[in-house]
Amino acid sequence: MAVGRKKIFNEEVALKAAMEVFWEKGYIGASIAELTQRMGINKPSMYSTFGNKEALFILASKLYAKSKIECLSAALNQADLPLKQRLKTYMMSIVAVQCESETTKGCYLVQCQTEVASGDIPAEASQLLNNTVDYVQKLLEAILSNDQESKRLGFDKEAKVKAFCLSVTLRGTATMARCGHPKSELEAVIDHSLRGIGFE
Amino acid sequence: MAVGRKKIFNEEVALKAAMEVFWEKGYIGASIAELTQRMGINKPSMYSTFGNKEALFILASKLYAKSKIECLSAALNQADLPLKQRLKTYMMSIVAVQCESETTKGCYLVQCQTEVASGDIPAEASQLLNNTVDYVQKLLEAILSNDQESKRLGFDKEAKVKAFCLSVTLRGTATMARCGHPKSELEAVIDHSLRGIGFE
DNA sequence: TATCAAATGTACCGATCGGTACAGTATTAT
DNA sequence: ATAATACTGTACCGATCGGTACATTTGATA
């Protein structure tokens, strides 16, 4: 058994709170003071548990990727549903995440990636953000390349550019969600976007 | 004639330099130190000429709106060209601005609007940013509502939602441009987007 | 040439940034 | 009980933030 005084907080709960702050404020905008306050711990506890701001950010980003993005992928492979419907369900599930908060937040990744271009985010964290954003696009591309229905429609030949278009749309909805536009308004955009790559 | 020592710098040149910095770094990310350095002046000159950071930001934002956005509107009203072509030319001219820099910047407005949601930008400046972003969408909506060809196609009945879709696309391309995607890659997205609202 | 307004450069202000030293307190092992 | 260990709280570090006081320099006016 571990010796010494027990931690008074739960690491997972604290990390989730940190993720929320980074989501709202970005990497630079999230101060250690606000982070620790919202995490319910004080600075030495944060530093001893998570290392430093960058390490905390990397953990928070991984948590976002896992709990808010990667877990949605299954919708794309529901074998019995038409491709269009699977894509719409998947994209709308991402939009739902963008709109889920009362304090409008958009997408953690899109939010923080704008800071990458500013040179404000350390290299390792930048890489992680880029990889996760890429993950969605690659996933869409893979479906459009390999799905039977997609091949039948001839979409596999333009899978890359079509996936890119859908990805652009999702980034656009992320910025809109951050400005307070509700899911209901963004649904029409997804519909039009799917039409744009050739559905109907 | 004005009495006293002459200004050693040109206000317009300095303001343009400030706009570039805000464009790259956003409002919070642009420090007074970097701003004054890139403007080629020192802090007291900046404060005596422009007031403070917020006032400088408002002037820089107005300059961006005028010199990078509003001046592009004419392309939409080139009477002899088909609507689709006018829309594409207009949207691509905005994409060109998003991609114009060697240090990739995306869109000043989209960049800074994400900071509005963080509560980092003073009220007056927020309002200005929102208005300018709204300007593009309203412009698209007006064309789709009133243009003869648009009416013939029946687009005027859904002008609002179609304009919103195009606006989302342009915000998406802005975030892509900021990540280094070139204009050539984004052109296909504009084409698909126009297809999505009913062209072809 | 003397005067005076305006711009400049330096040096500083308090507040906040990310990060840490250290004393105090709780917990387990001996 | 006592020692060893790990977490907590306070108080601080140097660096940077936006902003300013002030002495100096410049140049037009009188």
Residue A36 has pLDDT above 90, yes or no: yes
CA of A3 to C1' of D4 (A): 9
Structure tokens at B74: 């004419």
pLDDT band at B151 (very low <50, low <70, confident <90, very high): very high
Distance CA A71, CA A81 (A): 19
CA of B66 to C1' of D27 (A): 35
Size of interface A-B (CB pairs under 8 A): 127
Residue type, A159: A
Where along chain A do its domains lie? 63-196
Residue A1 has pLDDT above 70, yes or no: no
CA of A44 to C1' of C23 (A): 14
Q: What is the mean pLDDT of chain B?
A: 96
HEC string of chain A equals CCCCCCCCCCHHHHHHHHHHHHHHHHHHHCCHHHHHHHHCCCHHHHHHHHCCHHHHHHHHHHHHHHHHHHHHHHHHHCCCCCHHHHHHHHHHHHHHHHCCCCCCCCCHHHHHHHHHHCCCCCHHHHHHHHHHHHHHHHHHHHHHHHCHHHHHHCHHHHHHHHHHHHHHHHHHHHHHHHCCCCHHHHHHHHHHHHHHCCCC
Q: Which nucleotides of C are covered by protein (CB under 7 A)?
A: 4-11, 16-22, 24-29
Residue B2 has pLDDT above 80, yes or no: no
Q: In this structure, which topology does domain A63-196 adopt according to CATH? A: Tetracycline Repressor; domain 2 (1.10.357)
Residues A138-177 have pLDDT tens digits of 999 999 999 999 999 999 999 999 999 999 999 999 999 9
- Closest chain B residue to the Cα of A165, Cα to Cα: B189
Q: What is the mean pLDDT of chain A?
A: 97
pLDDT band at A200 (very low <50, low <70, confident <90, very high): confident
Q: In this structure, which topology does domain B61-196 adopt according to CATH? A: Tetracycline Repressor; domain 2 (1.10.357)
Q: Is A177 in the B-facing interface, judged by CB distances under 8 Å?
A: no
A117, B104: Cβ pair inside 8 Å? yes
